[in-house]
Structure 1
Amino acid sequence: MLCNKETLKELFKKDEAIKYLKPIRGTPPYWQSSQKDIFAMIRQLGVPTFFCSFSSADFRWSEIVNTILKQQGDMRNTENMTWDEKCKVLCSNPVTAARMFNNRFNTFLKDVIMSEAEPIGKIIDYFYRVEFQQRGSPHTHCLFWVENAPKYGEDDNEEVMSFIDKYVTCEIPDEKVDKELHDIVMAVHQHSKNHSKTCKKKGTVCRFNFPRPPSTKTFISEPSKPDKDTKKDEKVAKEILSGLWKVIKEHENENLDVSEIFNKSGLTQESFEKYFRFITNRNTVVLKREPNEIYTNQYNPHLLRAWNANMDIQYILDAFSCVVYIISYISKSERELGLLLQQTKNEAEEGNLNAQQTMKKIGTSYLHHREVSAQEAVFRVTGLRLRECSRKVEFIPVGENPCRMSIPLKRP
């Protein structure tokens, strides 16, 4: 096969020729393999229950900076250090920072999420991937399968919404009742009203959909079925909901509850749900939310208190949203690098290079152009896991003519 020019051409055309990069962790073929593992889990186990993200908070977790200072014999108190000074300490020892995050998350997963306390239900299976933000710190994206969790489309909607309310909230805790959780929510779970460049990546005001609408209860919004009057209804819905946001802005300092805001907007909970259907293009969970919580991201109180950093938790409504959105996000290959490898491959083809030269050029391109943060480099060099799941996936070829390629048993 490798001696046949036409076969080689097909291999390059289908990206089969860069599969030799799969063992190198972090490459596009590596994450493509992980994506197939998740598909296999979904086929066998069904749609996951929760999608969660857990971010790093290097400076909130004072033990990281304190440990590095102790290693260096530095007796400074972190409480008296400036942000710049803490940055320098953190950058001076990315190995300790990366290993402590890895240990913290693994302990958190084992002793909190999967504990007998069952903060988000009894976890029977999971998958997680470690990703690195632009500033270089790690964060994890996880899928969790919960035992006996109600499934959207199979169980009653009221049962699903009751399940969501049990484990997910966006409430700002009363400072007098629970000051610790209140302080964490206000510090790490408030979306910026000014919106960052990240918010505007897809050409929208905020791709995370903040601010989010207030509601007296949690409900699942299902897009209305298209008909000849859909565009007209959609226009009316946008005007009415635009008026709702105007009322919220006008009374943002008056601490009005949802019912009062709805009354001033000429809405009820029922009419709000009706109009909201016309502006959504997929099934969406709208959480119970007060007007002062429209910039608060959803969380689980027990997990947030233990993790003490930004987190996200979402109930997965159906297989379509799971596969198309969540799976492509949680196991996304590095898009920019994928484009670079594709361009390199095209240039090699235009230069009439043979198979060996093309593979060498692609490998060199990857190794020379892949940018990694210091902590990601630590994860790779020290063998810390970039992904893990509760099941081992084994591929079994069952086609009529499965092709098997192997190294010759002995040289001719």
Structure 2
Amino acid sequence: MVYVRKYGCPDMFITVTTNPNWKEITDHLLEGQHPHDRPDLLVRVFRLKLKQTMHALKNGCLGSVDAWLYNIEFQKRGLPHAHILLWMSRGSKIHPCMINAAVSAEIPDKNQDPELFTIVTSHMVHGPCGALNPNAPCMKGGKCSKQFLKPFVKDTEMGTDSYPKYQRRDVQSGGNCTVKKLVGQNIP
């Protein structure tokens, strides 16, 4: 609350999550070991990556920062992740028209960037939940607690709650593609 009193609402909220398949982790596993067998290694690599991220953020990779704050939590699977809040300097504040340059909520084109397509579809696609998977962890009272499915939005706009509604065009409106994620299926 002290930060909000002094700097106002934060301009950016960034989450950094451990990927147990990071090369820095998998290269140091002994034969027969899995990443969850080495919490010491998971935490050490996460800490180094977070330190690199914070160094880049504080040194202007997204613009000039007036203040920053982060909190580290552990997921149910034991993987650390960090929530980072940034208060940007006046000249570096992001306006709604600039959001698409920093954030994309669309599936990358598989032909133009196959590596990014694989990363996004493997790690960042929610589901399945709802009628397809009523036992999914996100299901509360028969509905997805994460408010999925998100509606298609032609252009990024600021929501009434100050959260942006990111551009998510359907294929007919110029979006790259859609993917379907089935129970137990890894994409692609």
Matched, 1:200 2:145: no
Task: Report the TM-score, using the length of structure 1 for normalisation.
Answer: 0.37
**What TM-score do you get using the length of structure 2 for normalisation?**
0.76
8 Å CA contact 2:129–2:144 kept in 1: the answer is no
Q: CA deviation at 1:68?
A: 3.4
**C-alpha distance in 1, partners of 2:178/2:111?**
21
CA–CA separation in structure 2 for the residues paired with 1:143 and 1:54: 11
Write the letter of the residue equivalent to 1:167. Answer: A
Relative to structure 1, the CA distance from residue 294 to residue 176 in structure 2 (aligned partners, 3 Å threshold; closer, same or farther) is: closer
Structure label with greater radius of gyration? 1
- Match 2:79 to one of 123, 137, 149: 137
- The Cα offsets for residues 327-346 of structure 1, whole Å up to 9 and x where unpaired, read as xxxxxxxxxxxxxxxxxxxx
Q: For residue 363 of structure 1, what is the aligned residue in structure 2?
A: none
CA contact under 8 A between 2:129 and 2:139: conserved in structure 1?
Answer: no
Contact 1:65-1:86 at 8 Å conserved across structures:
no
Partner of residue 14, structure 2? 52
Over residues 88-142 of structure 1, what are the superposed CA-to-partner deviations in whole Å (9 max), with x where a residue is unaligned? Answer: x641x3222211211121112213x3344x2x33333211111011111111111
* Counterpart contact for 1:212–1:295, Cα < 8 Å: no
Match of 2:185 in 1: none
Report the secondary structure of 1:67's partner residue: coil
Q: Relative contact order: is structure 1 or structure 2 higher (C-alpha 8 Å, sep ≥ 6)?
A: 1
Percent identity, please. 25
Structure 2's unaligned 5+ residue stretches are: 172-176, 181-188
Q: 1:65 aligns with which of 14, 26, 31?
A: 26
Q: Aligned equivalents of 1:65 and 1:160: distance in 2?
A: 40
Q: Structure 1 unaligned segments of length 5 or more: list them.
A: 1-38, 75-84, 151-158, 223-281, 297-412
Q: Deviations over 1:368-390 (max 9, x none)?
A: xxxxxxxxxxxxxxxxxxxxxxx
Distance in 1 separating the partners of 2:15 and 2:53: 13
Match of 2:66, SS? strand
Aligned to 1:350: none
Q: Is the 8 A contact 1:68 1:90 kept in 2?
A: no
Offset at residue 191 of structure 1 (A): 0.8
Corresponding position of 2:47: 102
Q: What is the RMSD computed on CA atoms of the aligned residues?
A: 2.7
The code of the aligned residue for 2:158 comes to I
The one-letter code of the counterpart of 2:77 is: R
Aligned residue-pair number: 170
Secondary structure (helix, strand or coil) at the match of 1:127 reads strand
Query: Which of the two has greater helix per residue?
Result: 1
- The amino acid that maps onto 1:103 is L
Give the 3-state SS of the residue equivalent to 1:101 in structure 2.
helix
Tell me the residue number matched to 1:324: none
Letter in 1 for 2:47: N
Deviations 1:271-306 (A, max 9, x none): xxxxxxxxxxx454221112367889xxxxxxxxxx
Q: 1 CA distance for matches of 2:162 and 2:68?
A: 24
More strand, by proportion? 2
CA, structure 1 residues 45+140, in 2 after alignment: closer, same or farther (shift >3 Å)?
same
